[in-house]
Amino acid sequence: MIILSAFSFSTGNIAIRRGMKTAHDDGIFISIFINMVAFSLLIIIFQLKGLLPPLTLKGFLLFALAGLLTTFTGRSLFYVAIRVIGPSRATSFRCSSPILTVCLAFLFLSERFNISQFIGATAIMGGVWILSREVLGRMDLEVVQASVSSPNESFPASKVSNKSPLFGVLYALGAALSFGIGHFLRKLGLTEVPSPFWGMAIGTMIAWLAVVVHATTKGEIKKLCHNNFNFHHPPWFFILAGLFFTLGQMLSFMAIYFTAVSIVVILASSEPLITLIISRLILRGEEPLNWQVIVSSGAVFLGVILMIF
C-alpha cells in the first residue's frame, strides 16, 4: 500500500515539474483543489452510509494542523524546491523528514529507538551533505519555461528566475521539517478519531482555505482561478499531479492508520529512488543525474531503514 503511495507521489512530482514549463504558478492551487474535492466526496459517501466515527474537536484540530503543515506549507515549499533543483534532488532532501518523525514518535507514542537508528540518522545526514555539495555547485537545474501563447497571455521563449540552488536546498529541507511534524500530528489525530478519511478531508479543506487566503492577500486569486480553471487551456500536468497526489495521500493515510508511523516512513522513503527512475525515463536530459544524486538517494533510503530495523 505505502509503496504504491510512494510511486503515486513520485509520478506526481514529475508531473509538477513538467507542468511548470508552461504554467504561471507551481501547481499548489489546482492540486490541493483536486485533493479536497475527492476527499470531500468520500466523506459524504461514508457519512451517508454511517461508516465514519464521531469527529471530536481535538481530532479536528490535529487533522487541521497536520493539513496546514503537510498539504499547505510542506507541499508549497517542496514545489518551489522542485522548480529550482528538480524533483529527484528535492525529493531526497524532503525525505530526510523521518529523523524528526521517528524522534517524535519515540517521545510521545512509545515507539522504539535504538543504536541502529542513530546509524540510520547518520546515513541520512551523510546523504543530505553529499547532495548539498552537488546541488550548490550547479546552475542548470531550474525550470526553463517553454514558449506558450494564448488569446490572453504569453510567455517568453525562456523564463528563469536565476534563483541560487541554495534556495532550493533550504526550501526542500523546510518541507522536510514541515512534513515530519505534520505526519506525527496525523498519527495523533488518528488515535483520537480512527478514520483516515476524516483526516484527509479536513487536512485538504484547511490547506485549500490557506491557499485561497494566501493568494487573496497577495492579490493573485483571480489570476490563479483564471489560469487553473481555464477550460480552453487547462493545466493538464498539474491536474494529473493532483490525481496522483490524491491517490498517494489516501494510501499514505490508510497505511499510517493500520501500522506504526515509523514503519510507514521507512517504506515511504523509497520515494527518492522511485523518483530517480521515473525522472530518468520521462525528464531525461532536463534533470541531469550523476553518482552523487544516486548515492545520496540510496543513503537516505538505507538510513531510514536502519532507523527502524
Helix axis angle, 87-94 relative to 291-306, nearest 10°? 30
Task: Give the Cα separation of 118 and 306 in Å (integer).
Answer: 8
pLDDT in tens, 94-114: 777 667 666 776 666 666 666
Residue 263's nearest CA partner among 187, 199, 188 is 187
What is the number of structural domains in the chain? 1
- % of the chain residues with pLDDT over 90: 28
Task: Give the Cα separation of 64 and 203 in Å (integer).
Answer: 5
Question: What is the span of the domain harbouring residue 217?
Answer: 2-144+158-306
pLDDT in tens, 223-272: 889 888 888 888 999 999 999 999 987 787 677 666 665 566 666 666 77
Residue 125 included in any domain: yes
Residue 47 included in any domain: yes
pLDDT value for 150: 46
Are 141 and 287 in contact, with CB atoms under 8 Å apart? Answer: yes
Decide if pLDDT at 93 tops 50: yes
Please provide the average confidence, as pLDDT, over all residues in the chain. Answer: 80
Task: Give the Cα separation of 190 and 105 in Å (integer).
Answer: 13
| Cβ within 8 Å of residue 284, ≥6 positions away | none
Residue 87 included in any domain: yes
Residue 36 included in any domain: yes
User: Averaged over 115-119, what is the pLDDT?
Assistant: 75
Residue 149 included in any domain: no
Cell numbers found for residue 240: 494529473
Residue 202's nearest CA partner among 31, 68, 19, 30 is 68
Residue 286 included in any domain: yes
Task: Give the Cα separation of 254 and 198 in Å (integer).
Answer: 11
Q: What are phi and psi of 112, to 5 degrees?
A: -70, 155
User: Averaged over 136-165, what is the pLDDT?
Assistant: 56
Residue 151 included in any domain: no
Q: What are phi and psi of 55, to 5 degrees?
A: -95, 125
What's the one-letter identity of residue 21? K
